Amino acid sequence: MASAKEGNGAVTKRTTLHDLYEQQGQSPWYDNLCRPVTDLLPYIANGVRGVTSNPTIFQKAISSSNAYDGQFKELISAGKDAESAYWELVIKDIQDACKLFEPIYDETDGADGYVSVEVSPRLANDTQGTVEAAKWLHKVVNRPNVYIKIPATAECVPSIKEVIANGISVNVTLIFSVARYEAVIDAYLDGLEASGLSDLSRVTSVASFFVSRVDSLIDKMLEKIGTPEALALRGKAAVAQAKIANQLYLKKFSGPRWEALVKKGAKKQRLLWASTSVKNPAYLDTLYVDPLIGPDTVSTMPDQALDAFIDHGTVARTIDANVSEAEGIYSALEKLGIDWEEVGKQLEHEGVSSFKGSFDSLLTSLEEKGNALKTAANL
C-alpha cells in the first residue's frame, strides 16, 4: 500500500477498496485512529469510508505518542483530572476525524462516512450508566456522522434500544454469537419504533460482529478434542458463523414489521465485520475479509488486514455463497460438543476485560503523567 503513505489526500490510484464499495456495496473502514488525524487522508484517498476506534486503540495512540502532550498539559493546568482529560483528548480526535469523513457522509446522504467512539468500558454491565454516557458523548462530540459504540452485553442490549429511541446513531460492538446478534437487531427495531420520530432516516446503526477471535477460541477447543474430524474444522468456524449471521440479517430486515419502518425512512442496521486481522499466521491474511463480501455491509480493517486486502484481496460477492456448507460446519461443531452461546459469552467476557484493562492502564499512566506535571509546576 505504498501509495497510501504519499500525498496530501489526492487520489494516488484506484485500489481494491474502491472496487469493493462500487462493485459489491461493501464499505471498507479503517480500524485505527491516532494523531495527527490528517494521517487518515491517504486512507480516504485509497477508498476508506469510515473509522472505528476502541479503548485499546486510544491507549496505544495516547501512550505511544507525544502528539497528545500539549493538550494534556493544558487540561491538567486547567484543573482537569485524568479521566476528564482522557475524554477531551478522545473527543478532539473524534471531532477532527468526523470532519474528514463528513464529505462521504454528505455524498451518501448519511449512509456512510462514520467515525465510532466507545462509551467507557467500565459501564459494560450498567444499563442506565451506558445510556447516560451515550447521550453525553453524542452531545459533546456534536457531529452528525459520529457513531456511539455500545457493547452487546446482556445489560447493554436494553441500552441500545433506549439510545436509538433517543435518535442517536449506534455502533453495537463485541457481538460474538448469532443469538446475541438477534437480540441486537431487535433492540434496534424496538428503538426505532419507540422513538416517535416521523423521519427515521438520520438514526442509523451498525452491528459489529467479531470474526477472528471466534476461530482463536474454537481452534483451541478443536485441538483439545484432537480427532481428525475436529482438526479438519480449524479456521472454519468464524466465517461459517458470520455467513449464518448474514442470513439472519436478511430475514430480520424484511417483512411487514421492517416495511412499516422503511415507510418512515428507516435504514437497515448494517452488519459490520470486526476483528478481521488474522491471529494465526498459518491462515491466509485475507481470510476474514474475502469470504464476507456483500451489499450493505461494512468491513473494518486494522493495518495488517487493510494492507493485505489492497495488495491481493479478491473483490467478489461471497457473503451468500456456500451458505449450506457454512450451516454444515456450524452443526458439525455443535455435534463435537462446541456450544456457540458459551463461546460467545467467553469471548464477550474476554473482549470487555481487554477493553477495561486498556482503559484502566491508560488512566493510570495519565494520572502519573498529570501528577508529574503538577509537581514540576509547583517547583
Catalytic residues: 149
List all residues 6 or more positions away from 187 whose beta carbon is below 8 Å from its beta carbon. 157, 158, 160, 161, 164, 172
- CB count within 10 Å of CB 220 equals 10
- Concatenating the DSSP letter of every residue in 255-275 gives SHHHHHHHTTT----EEEEE-
Cell numbers placing 61: 495512540
Overall size of the chain counted in residues: 379
Whole-angstrom distance, CA of residue 184 vs CA of residue 204: 13
Per-residue cell: 315: 473483490
Alpha carbon distance 58, 52 (integer Å):
11
Q: Which of 73, 176, 124 is nearest to 356 (CA)?
A: 124
Contacts of 336 (CB under 8 A, 6+ apart): 222, 225, 227, 229, 230, 233
Contact 315, 23 (CB under 8 A): yes
